[in-house]
Amino acid sequence: MSAIGATRRRRMPRHWAAALIAAGALAVTACASPPPAAPVPPPSDPASAVDCSAEWDVGWGAIPADFEPVAVYVCDPVLELAPSVDPPLVLADPEIIDEPPPPPAEPDPAPAPAPATPRLLEGDLPALLAAFAVPNDPKWPGPCSAIGVVVPDVWLVDADGWAIRPAYPVDGCGLPKPGVTDALAEFTPAD
């Protein structure tokens, strides 16, 4: 084989290597395109009063630009519906173990839960408003955890008594960012 043939054999792998590097650079560039813009929720519609019985998917939105809150109310159904403490366990008397059990009592119908009562909170209102103003993250293109998160139902009320229900800023998987709950942790009940 001549020297030219040997040179061509050495150059072919270099050409392939250059082509593979170029293809890899193109693939990385294509994958590095910016994610889609984060969705911005529409402004929340003002209500005439705080409504703790409102459905969870109704009324949440951005704080309107012309809305100036002066009070914060929280409807927390998790705290309102917490079960009472179970009675202490009573051990069976060995003498009555051989007796047949009494007939079961007719179960009482479960009462319908009362709606949560709005609680007025006092604290750093500008810090809470700043936490609500954080933009949503762009939708994450990868997999997300299949979990649910329960957050307090926050209502902001203006000087005229109109109430809005601001939407929590969310991460790329649609989960609430911790800023609002961190700001709420600094509030205390006014009652």
Cα–Cα dist 43/26, whole Å: 41
Q: pLDDT above 70 covers what percent of the chain?
A: 60
pTM score, two decimals?
Answer: 0.63
Out of 79-93, 146-160, 171-185, least confident range: 79-93
Cα–Cα dist 134/170, whole Å: 9
Is residue 52 within 8 A of residue 168, CB to CB? The reply is no
Q: What is the pLDDT of residue 71?
A: 95
Q: What is the pLDDT of residues 19-34, one digit of tens each?
A: 556 555 545 544 445 5
Cα–Cα dist 69/105, whole Å: 52
